[in-house]
Each structure stands twice: as C-alpha cells, then as structure tokens.
C-alpha cells in the first residue's frame, strides 16, 4: 500500500511488490483476466496488469484479494466462500457494463466494478465474528422465506451492508466504493441519483440474484430507465448464473 501511494512509482515497482506474494499475484491476475474487465487478450504478468489497470485500481484489487484471504469463516453449512466469490465477480462484471451504459466516468466505472466485488464483504465479517449465529440466521431466513438482511438485524443488530461499508471506511477506500457497499440493496427513487456506481451495483446485484421484482422494474420505469433495464436484464442472462 505504501508503494501504491507513491506518486513516482513505476508499474514494474508495483508489480515487483505484488509478485512477492504468490496468493496476491494469482488473485490479481485472476481478477484482471475475468469477465469483470472484459479484456480481449490474456494477461499473465503482474506488470502488464498494473499497466492496463493503473495503480489506483490495482490498489483496490489488492484489497479485494486481501479481504477474501483475511476472512475465512469455517464450519458453515449455509454459507459458501467460493459461491460468494463467484457471485461477487458476476456482480462486478455486470456493474461495470451497466456503469458504462449510464455514461459514468472511467473512474466511476472502476468504482462500480470494485464495489461489485466487495459489496458483500460484510457477510464474511459477520460469518467470522460468530459462524454459528450467522449460519443460523441464513438457515432461518431460507426456511421462513424472509429477507436475509432482516435475519442479520435480528441476530446482530445490523446488516452486512452496514458492516461492510464500515470496514471499507476503516480501510480508507474511496468514498464511492464505501457508498456502493452501504447502498447495494437500495433502488433509486430520483432520476438525478441514477448515474452512480451505487446504482450500477444495486441493479447488477438484484439481476444476478434474480431479485428484481415488479416493484423494482416499476421504479426504473418511473424514472425513465425502462429501456436501459431491458438491456441490463439481457446482459445478466448472457452472463449466466
């Protein structure tokens, strides 16, 4: 992180630091070659990854890799880290496309992509804090057909969105990414607030989860985004589960 904050650091110097950690190297290369960024050629060298993504995005991906490595809850029957990682990649990739379709800046599209990767990081925190309680909360929500966030509030007094946002604030990630994590279940009610990384991730998450109900569709139709929503739904189906 110290190297990445330096103003005159080269791509090779950043790559040399990343390369010292095998796990970090493999995760950064996995992410840069995933559908998240839509690169047409295979990148196999950390230096190439840094040149393509830029230091700021690499910094965020390093934090993503570290986050999934740091939180490894065990003995959970209803929770899969692999499943969460796959879901996060799908949401991040779709959020990137949605952000581009909304005309977001390059930086904002990057925030949407990384925010999509990290939007459920709070689930890992809660699961590590008390695995049995979190497992029971998930089981109870599935059995009763209730909202998982409500089950989290009943068990912990907070939701994974709030916990995740607080963690990223402590890590000093950019405010737009923290906002993405905090609001990734909140649909926009004002047309002026549609063009943001948080909305891109919210829609992507709902589509990947199959949770965009009639109310959600009506919400986007009411603010003049019905046509775009059709495209987003198609992209989600193309991406698969």
Rounded to an integer, what distance in angstroms lies between the CA atom of residue 138 and that of residue 227?
35
pTM of the prediction? Answer: 0.80
The pLDDT, as a whole number, for residue 39 is: 74
The pLDDT, as a whole number, for residue 119 is: 93
The pLDDT, as a whole number, for residue 240 is: 54
Those residues with Cβ within 8 angstroms of residue 190's Cβ, 6 or more apart along the chain or in another chain:
223
Q: How big is the CA angle at 174 (ends 103 and 6), to the nearest 5 degrees?
A: 110
Those residues with Cβ within 8 angstroms of residue 33's Cβ, 6 or more apart along the chain or in another chain:
39, 42, 43
Handedness of CA 186, 187, 192, 194 (dihedral sign): positive
The pLDDT, as a whole number, for residue 157 is: 93
The pLDDT, as a whole number, for residue 190 is: 61
**Using CB atoms within 10 A of its CB, is residue 158 exposed (0-12), middle (13-18) or buried (19+)?**
middle
The pLDDT, as a whole number, for residue 45 is: 86
The pLDDT, as a whole number, for residue 58 is: 78
Averages of pLDDT over each 10 residues, the chain, 241 residues: 72 82 79 76 84 77 74 72 84 89 88 90 89 87 85 92 92 87 82 75 89 74 76 78 50
Are the C-beta atoms of residues 119 and 91 closer than 8 Å to each other?
yes
Rounded to an integer, what distance in angstroms lies between the CA atom of residue 194 and that of residue 150?
26
């Amino acid at each position: 992180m110290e190297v990445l904050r330096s103003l005159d650091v080269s791509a090779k110097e950043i790559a040399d630091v990343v390369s010292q950690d095998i796990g970090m190297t493999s995760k950064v290369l996995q992410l840069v070659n995933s559908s998240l960024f839509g690169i047409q050629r295979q990148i196999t060298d950390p230096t190439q990854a840094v040149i393509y993504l830029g230091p700021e995005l690499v910094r965020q991906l390093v934090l993503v890799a570290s986050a999934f490595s740091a939180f490894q809850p065990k003995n959970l029957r209803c929770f899969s880290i692999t499943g969460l990682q796959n879901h996060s990649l799908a949401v991040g990739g779709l959020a990137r496309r949605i952000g581009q379709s909304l005309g977001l800046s390059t930086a904002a599209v990057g925030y949407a992509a990384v925010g999509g990767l990290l939007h459920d990081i709070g689930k890992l925190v809660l699961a590590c804090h008390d695995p049995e309680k979190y497992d029971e909360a998930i089981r109870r929500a599935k059995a009763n057909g209730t909202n998982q966030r409500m089950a989290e509030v009943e068990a912990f007094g907070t939701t994974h969105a709030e916990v995740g946002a607080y963690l990223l604030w402590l890590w000093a990630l950019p405010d737009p990414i923290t906002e993405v994590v905090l609001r990734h279940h909140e649909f926009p009610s004002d047309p002026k607030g549609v063009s943001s990384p948080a909305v891109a991730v919210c829609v992507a998450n709902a589509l990947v989860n199959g949770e965009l109900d009639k109310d959600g569709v009506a919400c986007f139709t009411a603010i003049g985004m019905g046509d775009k929503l059709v495209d987003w739904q198609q992209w989600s189906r193309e991406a698969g589960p």
